[in-house]
A and B are shown apart, each in its own frame.
Chain A
Amino acid sequence: MSCAGIIGGAALIVASCAPLRAQADCFGDLAGREVCLPRPAQRVVTIPMPSASTFIAVDGSAQRLVGMHPSSKRAIDEGLLGRMFPQARAIDASVAGVGADGFMPNVETLALLDPDVVVQWGDRGDDIVGPLRNAGLRTALLRYGTEPLARGNLTLMADIAGKPERAKELIAWRAATIADIEKTARDIPEARRLRVVYLQRAATGLAAAGANSYYDFYIRLVGGRNAADGLAGAPSINAEQIAQWDPDVILLNGFEERLTPARIYDDEILSATRAARERRVYKMPIGGYRWDPPSQESPLTWMWLADLLYPEAFHYDLRAEIARAYRLLYGQTPSQADLDEALRMPINGEARFYDRFAASASK
């Protein structure tokens, strides 16, 4: 119990404690609790959306994952993960609803899956955890939204998989990428820092991600400024507000399937923003998981954005980077068609500077 008091939710501390506990199959989760597994987990259920693909990446297979959230399933079917791990398509996705109460587990469905551990949100109230505990199911809780928490989640998944060294490997990649980007971004003069807006919702109404969001983190990481940093959370806004910001770059979320840059170019107001005039409107890619929120693939998001924002300063060969990352993450080599699809070449191909991601531009 020496660790338990110190943990208190600090993900990095959790990360450093985890190896000590791995021996006894005990480790801390992100709610600061200790999770003990009697044997290496063979049957894992994940309810938070990004966890399913993270677990598959950390474990290197989809065999131990027996249940997941319906939204995770959709991302798997939509993205490359389903193609890289065909058995992931057959995993049960009926353990929770999808909408307003979507993280409330159906305990009896879960019990049927006989899981060794259930991964659940630790920051959305006890109501969605209580029923699991009550049914005697072992839970591991995660939290979400910042880079330290993203690393903590990787560590937690690796601990569950009994492969703590995998987390170290993936976290080292994140740290190295951040250091590399910061080295270049530091030299971008204040006057040349582009103003970026990430639209978390644009198909019906508009919503922009404000300060302290993960989007805000990586916009600033690559040397940009979040034009919407006066907002808290991701509230609804109007087109007039975007015109007032007049952003240099607009990022469209990858969640809304039908959303394409045409939404901006066809809008009478938004089409007059600098971003639209200079054709710098990009739809977020989707690889093994969506590139917008924190996931195991986040370093690729950062490189992608760095390349697009400052093409003369950053020179990541993204296709090569993705191929390398997918060997590290999934042990697989994506085809050229896979890369086109992940980068959404058909949607983004016409946008400014996007030609550098074309197959012909990669060495």
Chain B
Amino acid sequence: MSLLATASGDTPQKRALPRWAGALAVLALLLVAALTALCIGRFQIAPQRAIAILLSRVAPMTADWSAMDERIILLVRAPRVLLAALCGAGLAVSGAALQGVFRNPLVAPQILGVSPGAAFGGALAISLGFSGFALIGAAFAAGAVALALVGALARVEGRSDTVMLVLTGVVIGALFAALVSLLQFLADPNSSLPAIVFWLMGSFSAATWARLGIAAPGVLAGVAMLWFMRFRINVLSLGEEEARALGLPVERDRWLVFAAVALIEGAAVAVAGVVGWVGLVVPHAARLLVGCDQRALLPVSAALGASYLLLVDSLARSATAAEIPLGVITALIGAPVFAALLRQMRRKELAR
């Protein structure tokens, strides 16, 4: 707690200006991405009209648009844009925090077994014929069960070291992946099988305000938890021994971070299916911009993650008449970008 109290008002004054400029630039990027996403789509609505529809909610305006235009903007695109931004931000922040805690740049939120768990819950709900909120609830619950299992198995004599955690995560992830395969094997090829397959590849196509309302508390609570722990994550990223020497309750803090990540990941998978790569790639881009300090890394990751997923989702829903699964695009863009980032970082390290 002492770390939290002393460091909060303690930003270095000399870097204040460029940091603010940087923050503004990142925020502007997010805003532009959100507005662009709102203005494009398969249903033809002129951008100025789309913006006018949005403004008409806060200021009185004469409506020169059809009821359908208004529904598309306010009921289809607005919740979808917000949901994509929210999940993008949440996934990127979880990735950044986990990469700090594990001191390993290859860690992604999937590593704790939460997304395979949540995927199983969702697939189970679909194969039982449920959709909507039952699906979301099942995905979230199964994600939480997966994390609890990882926690229980990784703790030996009251302690869980990093390697044990990662291995347990892989084991539990594999277990739930096998259960998902079993469900696919049992699913009806005429109805539930294609639904499960598409859901597993990730999509925001079912976004509504109600779904946003379900995902938002989980993601926001998780992000807030990570934000309040930013100093502790900084200390954890020094290494277990160092953190313990500095008086940090390593075990407890680590699990708090995991719980926050599970909350975010469970909520995101529940409403959008499995969206890979965001939590892995975006923190690297953010680290390239602002370095490893979680105080700057978390907000920049959030903004970049949100912008990235907005871009990807806009492509997914408007590039063709068909919805392209998000997972396909995040991987197609993510993999080469990741490779480029890795090379650039390595070059930086060598030049040092």
B18 at the interface (CB under 8 A from A): no
B312, chain A: closest CB distance, angstroms: 15
Q: Are A97 and B185 in contact (CB under 8 A)?
A: yes
Q: Are B191 and A201 in contact (CB under 8 A)?
A: yes
Interfacial chain A residues near B43, Cβ < 8 Å: 240-241, 243-244
For B71, give its contact among A74, A100, A241, A268 (CB under 8 Å): A268
Chain A: interface residue total (CB-CB under 8 A):
35
Q: Are A204 and B126 in contact (CB under 8 A)?
A: yes
B93, chain A: closest CB distance, angstroms: 27
Closest chain A residue, CB of each to CB of B77: A240
Beta-carbon contacts of A96-125 to B below 8 Å, as 1s and 0s? 011111100000000000000000000000
A162 to B199, CA, bound (A): 45
- Using known A-B contacts A243-B43, A268-B75, determine if residue A100 contacts B198 with beta carbons closer than 8 Å: no
- Using known A-B contacts A238-B42, A258-B129, A268-B75, determine if residue A100 contacts B193 with beta carbons closer than 8 Å: yes
The number of inter-chain residue pairs (CB within 8 angstroms) is: 116
B321 at the interface (CB under 8 A from A): yes
B225, chain A: closest CB distance, angstroms: 31
Interfacial chain B residues near A102, Cβ < 8 Å: 185, 189, 193
Q: Are A228 and B191 in contact (CB under 8 A)?
A: no
A268 to B67, CA, bound (A): 11
Closest chain B residue, CB of each to CB of A254: B190
A13 at the interface (CB under 8 A from B): no
- Using known A-B contacts A228-B321, A269-B72, determine if residue A256 contacts B191 with beta carbons closer than 8 Å: yes
Interfacial chain A residues near B129, Cβ < 8 Å: 203, 257-258
Q: Are A238 and B193 in contact (CB under 8 A)?
A: no
Chain B: interface residue total (CB-CB under 8 A):
42
- Using known A-B contacts A204-B131, A230-B321, A240-B317, determine if residue A71 contacts B188 with beta carbons closer than 8 Å: yes
Chain A contacts with B in 63-90, Cβ cutoff 8 A: 71, 74
- Using known A-B contacts A231-B321, A268-B71, A269-B71, determine if residue A238 contacts B205 with beta carbons closer than 8 Å: yes
A206 to B194, CA, bound (A): 10
Q: Are B67 and A98 in contact (CB under 8 A)?
A: no
Closest chain A residue, CB of each to CB of B318: A240
Interfacial chain A residues near B194, Cβ < 8 Å: 201, 207
Q: Are A99 and B71 in contact (CB under 8 A)?
A: no
For B187, give its contact among A100, A203, A241 (CB under 8 Å): A100
A239 at the interface (CB under 8 A from B): yes
Q: Are A231 and B195 in contact (CB under 8 A)?
A: no
A49 to B183, CA, bound (A): 20
A228 to B71, CA, bound (A): 22
Interfacial chain B residues near A206, Cβ < 8 Å: 205
- Using known A-B contacts A98-B187, A258-B129, A269-B71, determine if residue A204 contacts B193 with beta carbons closer than 8 Å: no
B340 at the interface (CB under 8 A from A): no
A205 to B181, CA, bound (A): 20
A244, chain B: closest CB distance, angstroms: 4
List 7 tightest A-B contacts by C-beta distance, closest first.
A235-B322, A204-B195, A255-B190, A99-B185, A100-B184, A236-B323, A99-B187
**Residues of chain A whose beta carbon lies under 8 Å from any beta carbon of chain B:** 49, 71, 74, 97-102, 201, 203-207, 228, 230-231, 235-241, 243-244, 253, 255-258, 268-269, 272
- List 29 interface pairs A-B (beta carbons < 8 Å), by A numbering: A98-B188, A98-B189, A99-B183, A99-B185, A100-B184, A100-B185, A100-B193, A201-B194, A203-B195, A205-B195, A205-B203, A205-B205, A228-B321, A235-B320, A236-B325, A237-B205, A238-B42, A240-B43, A240-B77, A240-B317, A241-B323, A243-B68, A244-B44, A253-B191, A257-B129, A268-B208, A269-B72, A272-B67, A272-B71
